[in-house]
Amino acid sequence: MQINKNYDNLEQSYLFSTIARKVSEYSAAHPEADIIRLGIGDVTRPLVPAVIDALHAAVEDQSRQETFHGYGDEQGYGFLHEALVGYYKTHGVDLATDEIFISDGAKSDLGNILDIFGADNTVLIPDPVYPVYVDTNVMAGRKVIFMDANESNGFLPLPDASVKADIIYICSPNNPTGAAYDRAGLKAWVDYANANSAVILYDAAYECFIEDENLPRSIFEIEGAKTCAIEFCSFSKMAGFTGTRCGWTVVPQALMDGKLNKMWLRRQTTKFNGVPYIVQKGAAACFTEDGMKQIKETLGYYKQNAKVLAETLDSLGIWYTGGKSSPYLWLKCPNGMGSWEFFDYLLENAHVVGTPGAGFGRNGDGFFRLTAFGDQQRTLEAAERLKKLLG
């Protein structure tokens, strides 16, 4: 027996465990400190009533002979495909139902999609970024190269014609930087990918935060994207499904003349048995009139937090990305502080916890992530503390 030695090449991530340790040590030494956590990437608001009602009704369906559902199609139920086709239409994208695959979330698909690509591909990943892209490729032994996202390109790197890559990851709006590509930026990537016979793995998990008409919500809004891109998206941030689990992946038929769509279907029907009927019913309820309205209200709650934090950074003259089309704000640590130095400084002097940028890649050092997923009153309180400390 031989193990997969590629696992030895994974870098240990101590980011969230180190944060947890530092916060608990500080709390133990200063039990009176009222600590506000603006570091979490998880949602905090409950599922909306339209989703809850659909979940309850689906549970009832499972109790009756006539409406009971056993195994469903691995790629998801038709009712959810139809609802998603309608959703994409609202931002000008035409999809066929067989181009959409329902999953238990974007993270699984982002990892699993690598099954359909050869091991010898060169993979291009932005730094800093959501760590799953790097680790899933390291596990498979692929060669990973990085593109620098930094202050000079607004954390939105553009293609470099001298770099040859086969698989390109783009996350927009980005985790952790909150930066989102405009049409021209995405078009540059689509043109590069088509010219190099490369594929773009486009993570749109935060598209629901985009309000600016000039920013695409789907890569398929860009001409030429259907011949070079696969899109991953999720109900997690859109509708609070982080614990309920549902997402989707779009593999266009125009990509390699349908070859990748067929391969992904084969992969899913072989290794996956579908998302629970009950969960898919809850997900579909997001696209009803009531569902959409209620989801927008919840997103508005987080967006208000993002606005408060953005205004705070504006008033302090601190450089940042995100906050407008994203629940994340990515700020430059004041006075040249390193990410961890600033973490300690904020914890000790304002009792506010964020996430050090260094945990997301080399270019993250000197930067810091705040999130808008917290409680509104607590976020306001944190903003006041930041103003007092850094003003």
Q: Cα(379)–Cα(155) distance, rounded to whole angstroms?
A: 25
CA separation, residue 285 to residues 93, 352, 357 (Å): 21, 36, 36
Of residues 105 and 357, the one with the C-beta less far from ligand PLP: 105
Taking the CA atoms of 209, 213, 215 and 219 in sequence, report the sign of the dihedral they define: positive
* Amino acid type, 273: N
- Interface residue with ligand PLP among 170, 171, 190, 229 (CB under 6 A) is 171
DSSP summary character for residue 357: G
106 binds ligand PLP (CB under 6 A): yes
* Contact between 136 and ligand PLP per CB under 6 A: no
Q: Which is nearer to ligand PLP, 128 or 383 (CB)?
A: 128
**Residue 224 sits in the site that holds ligand PLP (CB under 6 A):** no
Q: Which is nearer to ligand PLP, 241 or 350 (CB)?
A: 241
- Asked whether the bond before 157 is cis by omega within 30 degrees of 0, the reply is no
Nearer to ligand PLP, 207 or 350 (CB): 207
Cα 32 from Cα 189, distance rounded (Å): 51
Of all residues in the shown chain, the one whose CB is closest to ligand PLP is 105
For 144, list phi and psi in degrees, rounded to 5.
-110, 130
Question: Please, what is the minimum distance in Å from the beta carbon of residue 24 to ligand PLP?
Answer: 23
Among 121, 136, 242, 253, binds ligand PLP (CB under 6 A): 242
For residue 285, count CB atoms less than 10 angstroms from its CB and return exposed for 0-12, middle for 13-18, buried for 19 or more. Answer: buried
The answer to whether residue 204 forms part of the interface with ligand PLP (CB under 6 A) is no
Under the criterion CB under 6 A, does residue 175 sit at the interface with ligand PLP? yes
Q: How many residues in the shown chain lie near ligand PLP by CB under 6 A?
A: 13
Closest CB to ligand PLP among residues 88, 232: 232
Distance CA 91, CA 87 (A): 7
Is residue 107 close enough to count as binding ligand PLP by CB under 6 A?
yes
Positions that interact with ligand PLP (CB under 6 A): 41, 105-107, 130, 171, 175, 203, 205, 234, 236, 242, 247
